[in-house]
Structure 1
Amino acid sequence: MNLSGNLGPSPRSLEVEDLESFDRMLAAGAVHLQGWHAQSLDLRGRASALAGLDVEGAIFLGCTFDEGMEDALRNRGALIFPRLTGVPFNPYRSTLYSPGELYDGLADAPYEELPDARIYQWSIQPGQRHRVDATLASALHDHAIGDALDELTHSHPWSGQPMVGVMGGHAAQRGSADYAQAAMLGRLLARNGYSVATGGGPGAMEAANVGAYLSQADDDGLQAALDMLAAVPGFRPSVSAWARAAAAVVERFPGGTPSLGIPTWFYGHEPPNCFATHIAKYFANAIREAILLELCQGGIVFLPGAAGTVQEIFQDACENYYGAPEKVTPMVLVGRHHWEHQYPAWPMLRSLAADRPMADRIFLVDSVEEAVTVLLR
């Protein structure tokens, strides 16, 4: 899957994501801009430079120009995607989100006034999903996030580490045994050379990102962080208090190990966690789920969960069922009683896998330590 959402091969292009790069390439003698994709650049004051360039085939996404320059560039063959007004996000962004960006202002304002919440409120306004400008903005945004995610996963150190997904319910409360086990899983995965990816939300997802983030801390440090978080067990009734407890841990333990969160505004009631250092947040949940599965070529560990986790198990099973033998990835379900009796996904999964290449790539274990051992085989 192409993470940026392209349906087929595209010509070679050059993404220009900051003014420094733009100016440097012009200073080096660039004249022909065909294939250039300039994203969210403020190009005011550069009218004379732009006037001397061959811009046919160039694409400018959400850039700002001196008066009259936009029409001039369009008349000379450039494709201009305009800045969109009334939108509380940049649909042409060139990077993933950070927790600090989505929770900007958390120290002084309630969650409902922060960027993450404002974007969600925008997305659910009456009639929003049927408005052309709104659907265009969200589609452009998700394409930009996919593009940024593709760049991240092909850069150091991500490209040199297999990525393992951790799936599990959002209901696991801070301070609970389930939360501590999910944190231990993230810690063990990161310590064994895996990149950790989750759905980026609360519960088991947050815990796995916590464990990865603090993978280089000693045991006392991890326990201290878990104790701090336990003071606010869940994001209800106050997302603000929940997020501030996490921010306090990050402040006490800065510079943790990077990990990935891929949440969605489709589930607006689930806020993103603060321990995924890189956040690829999408509007379209179906795209987000498919990309999360595609990225986890090191396998996926499924912790106890309910409907959402069951859905993810069989989405992954479908990929493995029809995939080429070389592309089958491990599926590890943790919790025998949970997956055999409470939500009996394991018997169905085992039946599906029978006589298929995936048969020896599915596992049912009782502990996160066993799960990591299975992946390391």
Structure 2
Amino acid sequence: MNNPEGEREPESPGRERRPDGTWKERRLGPVVRRRGQVQPTTTDQRLLDTQGPTDWVHQDPWRVMRIQSEFVEGFGALAELGPAISVFGSARTPEGAADYDAGVRLGKALVGAGFCVITGGGPGAMEAANRGALEAGGVSVGLGIELPYEQGFNRYVDIGVNFRYFFVRKTMFVKYAQGFVVLPGGFGTLDELFEALTLVQTKKVTRFPIVLFGTEYWKGLVDWVHGTLVAQGKAAEKDLELFHLTDDVDEAVSLVTKESGGA
């Protein structure tokens, strides 16, 4: 093979010719490497070689694989779950508190209406809803998250899936639920609430009821949404119809059942 000037290209490592004068090549799956791009080792050799740097496990290409694996595990674990409602609330709600009791009653009532119960799998209000579901003979699901401090699944969870990434976990909460019931909670609860409201408002999801349980607790937030967001044109009056407010367990279940089309 000649270069444009008609002179033979010099031989060099990795640029070896076959006896017939053509350049050697290596096929790596769909990729063909020739001349100086031929690698001295095979893919299997590089895979099985235990020596070398390990910083690749902390780099973005590998993170993409972890994210993919979390979606696959979540989808696989929950695909056959059946109709479900996600219940949110504070991890700091103590057993014996009114909100805890409401969570237990809510979990039982949702199972009675034909739903599985999904929570964040932690303590407090999440534990209460899982407990109610389990005691009623239903399926109790916990979707956990890796945190700087150890939390773990509460003992009432039947199916537990733990995630590294919040956005993967959030997808599971919405994808496998027909609605949300939101007990009094803190920043994490507000995060899930407003994400759900945004998805419904922008029509990313349809027929997705959102029930705020505890009128006294949520009244200040609802008043702020109406008196500030809507009043200043940051939200529409009709956006107030995206959620319901109640203190009654039966009404909460009726609302999610009616709007979701029933279990």
| Matched-pair contact (CA < 8 Å) for 2:200–2:242 | no
- Structure 2 residue matching 1:364: 3-state secondary structure: strand
Which has a greater percent of strand?
2
Where does residue 274 of structure 1 map in the other structure?
A: 155
2:215 to 302, 319, 336: 336
- Structure 2 residue ranges without an equivalent (≥5): 1-28, 31-40, 259-263
| Matched-pair contact (CA < 8 Å) for 2:71–2:168 | no
Paired with 1:320 and 1:279, the residues of 2 have a C-alpha distance of 27
- Structure 2 residue matching 1:266: 3-state secondary structure: coil
- CA separation of 1:177 and 1:141: change in aligned 2, threshold 3 A: same
Where does residue 194 of structure 2 map in the other structure?
A: 314
Where does residue 184 of structure 2 map in the other structure?
A: 304
Aligned-pair CA distance for 1:376: 2.3
Pairing 1:139-158 to 2, within 5 Å after superposition: 140-155=65-80, 158=81
- Structure 1 residue ranges without an equivalent (≥5): 1-55, 58-70, 86-129, 217-256
Q: Residue 337 of structure 1 aligns to which amino acid in structure 2?
A: E
RMSD between aligned residues:
3.3
1:164 to 81, 85, 96: 85
- CA separation of 1:172 and 1:82: change in aligned 2, threshold 3 A: farther
User: Residue by residue, what CA displacement relative to the aligned partner does 1:278-332 show, whole Å, maximum 9, x if unpaired?
Assistant: 1121111232223323332x110000112221222111111111115x7141010
| Matched-pair contact (CA < 8 Å) for 2:197–2:242 | no
| Matched-pair contact (CA < 8 Å) for 2:93–2:125 | yes
The reply to whether residue 348 of structure 1 matches residue 229 of structure 2 is no
- CA separation of 1:371 and 1:354: change in aligned 2, threshold 3 A: same
Paired with 1:139 and 1:277, the residues of 2 have a C-alpha distance of 29
Aligned-pair CA distance for 1:360: 4.2
- CA separation of 1:177 and 1:144: change in aligned 2, threshold 3 A: same
| Matched-pair contact (CA < 8 Å) for 1:142–1:282 | no
- More displaced 10-residue stretch of structure 1: 265-274 or 275-284: 265-274
TM-score, L = length of structure 1: 0.49
Aligned-pair CA distance for 1:84: 9.7
Paired with 2:49 and 2:124, the residues of 1 have a C-alpha distance of 37
- Structure 1 residue matching 2:193: 3-state secondary structure: helix
Where does residue 36 of structure 1 map in the other structure?
A: none
1:174 to 74, 82, 95: 95
User: Residue by residue, what CA displacement relative to the aligned partner does 1:158-206 show, whole Å, maximum 9, x if unpaired?
Assistant: 2xx3221001001111222221210111111112111211111111111
Pairing 1:230-249 to 2, within 5 Å after superposition: none
The reply to whether residue 367 of structure 1 matches residue 253 of structure 2 is no
- CA separation of 1:142 and 1:168: change in aligned 2, threshold 3 A: same
- CA separation of 1:194 and 1:347: change in aligned 2, threshold 3 A: farther
Paired with 1:82 and 1:72, the residues of 2 have a C-alpha distance of 10
- CA separation of 1:137 and 1:360: change in aligned 2, threshold 3 A: same
Paired with 1:205 and 1:191, the residues of 2 have a C-alpha distance of 18
Identity rate of aligned residues, in percent?
A: 24
Q: Residue 205 of structure 1 aligns to which amino acid in structure 2?
A: M
| Matched-pair contact (CA < 8 Å) for 2:70–2:168 | no
| Matched-pair contact (CA < 8 Å) for 1:261–1:279 | yes
Count of matched residue positions in the alignment of Structure 1 and Structure 2: 211
- CA separation of 1:213 and 1:267: change in aligned 2, threshold 3 A: farther
| Structure number, greater radius of gyration | 2
1:291 to 172, 177, 182: 172
Where does residue 133 of structure 1 map in the other structure?
A: 57
Paired with 1:138 and 1:211, the residues of 2 have a C-alpha distance of 37
Paired with 2:50 and 2:66, the residues of 1 have a C-alpha distance of 11
- Structure 2 residue matching 1:280: 3-state secondary structure: strand
| Matched-pair contact (CA < 8 Å) for 2:118–2:143 | yes
